[in-house]
Amino acid sequence: MTKQYNNPFILALKARNLTVEVHRHSAYQIVLSNDTPFNSTINGTLYESIHGFLIKPHIPHFCVAEKGTLNVLNIEPYSNIGLELASRFKEDQGNIVFDSPPETNSFFQTPKDSLDVTKVVDALLSKLPSNNYDERVTKIVEYIKVNYFRSDITPQTFADIVFLSPSRLASLFKQQTGSSLSKYLLWTRLRQAIYITLSDKDKSLTDIAYDTGFYDLPQLNKYMYEMFGMPPTALKHNSDLIQVY
């Protein structure tokens, strides 16, 4: 049995001079300023000089942070951590705006005046029940870590590794992680694609798509836009990346 120490359903980036057009996506998103307040329009409402926000999936929004640094956390909505975030919204809320660092720290229960995004992630994970993964789930996770780039992976591939039927394995994986095997594989591929896109500016997006298990660039574009609201080209050319967590 393997204890859970982190969460694979969080994609975190830190970037400066980040301005994006109106978009929407399937992930929950937390955006926090590291230094300078920024402006954002969420669902048609302009919020000026804010410190950050938490937004539900499929809410149209955009940010203008031309002089500051932003931390952007994207969270798979059907994972355990995504479901925990969902519980923090009132029934009619689509977003929660933070006007200052103390307000942010109060919401996430992080140290006073802390701007460390790792503290936010730690605080989110602390809300989840302790989980000891079944060794078969751990085996699948390790397989995906090494073989995510293979485009021929199918549900039967996973089933054969742990000697379970595809349906039984799918049920076990969802029970323990909150999300499906296919979403886990997709998030792993997207995380790698985004990392390479932002850290190797000379590599073509077509090569990145092939190298991370997508059939072609249009398929990578489709899933990137669906999950995060922007294609990889927007990240490649419109942000000054500082760090990929």
Condensed to tens digits (0 to 9), the pLDDT of residues 143-185 reads: 999 999 998 999 999 999 999 999 999 999 988 887 889 988 9
* 234 pLDDT more than 80: no
Q: Do 11 and 110 lie in a common domain?
A: yes
143 and 122 part of one domain:
no
Q: What is the pLDDT of residues 2-51, one digit of tens each?
A: 333 356 688 887 777 666 677 888 889 999 987 888 889 999 999 999 99
Inform me whether the pLDDT recorded for 226 exceeds 90. Answer: no
Among the listed residues 117, 129, 139, 109, the one whose alpha carbon sits nearest the alpha carbon of residue 35: 117
Contact 137, 175 (CB under 8 A): no
Per-residue model confidence (pLDDT) at position 245 = 52
Q: Encoding tokens for residue 17?
A: 């001079």
Do 8 and 115 share a domain, yes or no? Answer: yes
Instruction: Tell me the three state secondary structure of residue 3.
Output: strand
Residue 213 belongs to domain with CATH number: 1.10.10.60
Q: Is residue 240 part of a domain?
A: no
CATH number assigned to the domain comprising residue 100: 2.60.120.10
Range of the domain at 169: 133-229
Q: List the one residue out of 5, 6, 90, 103 whose CA is nearest residue 47.
A: 103
Among the three residues 126, 153, 175, which one is the final residue of a domain in this structure? 126
Which pTM was predicted?
0.81
Q: Both 36 and 113 in a single domain?
A: yes
**Residues 70 and 166 grouped into a single domain:** no
Q: Report pLDDT for 7.
A: 65
Same domain, 26 and 49: yes
pLDDT in tens, 192-222: 898 888 778 789 999 999 999 999 999 999 9
Whether residue 100 sits in one domain with residue 11: yes
Task: State yes or no: pLDDT of 1 exceeds 60.
Answer: no
Q: Give the percent of the chain with pLDDT over 90.
A: 40
Helix (H) or strand (E) holding 32: strand 28-33
In this predicted structure, what is the pLDDT of residue 2?
33
What is the per-residue pLDDT for 26? 86
Tell me: do 171 and 108 sit in the same domain.
no
Q: What is the pLDDT of residue 160?
A: 95
**Mean pLDDT, rounded, for 94-102:** 92
Report the distance separating Cα 163 and Cα 124, nearest Å: 34
In the block, which residue shows the tokens 């919204």? 89
Q: Quote the pLDDT of residue 3.
A: 35
| Domain C-terminal end among 108, 126, 144 | 126
Q: Is the pLDDT of residue 240 over 60?
A: no
> Is residue 122's pLDDT more than 50?
yes
Pair (50, 143) in one structural domain: no
pLDDT at 17: 67
Does residue 53 belong to any structural domain of this protein? Answer: yes
Residue 90 in domain? yes
Shared domain for 120 and 141, answered yes or no, is no
pLDDT of residue 241: 57
**78 domain-assigned:** yes
Residue 82: other Cβ atoms inside 10 A: 19
Q: Are residues 60 and 100 in the same domain?
A: yes
- Please give the residue that has the higher pLDDT: either 118 or 139: 139
Residue at which a domain ends, from 89, 106, 126:
126
- C-beta of residue 74 within 8 angstroms of C-beta of residue 124: no
Same domain, yes or no, for 94 and 172? no
How high is the pLDDT of residue 79?
83
Task: Answer whether residue 128 shows pLDDT above 90.
Answer: no
Flag whether 245 is in a domain.
no
- Tell whether 244 is covered by a domain: no
Domains held by the chain: number? 2
Q: What is the pLDDT of residue 78?
A: 83
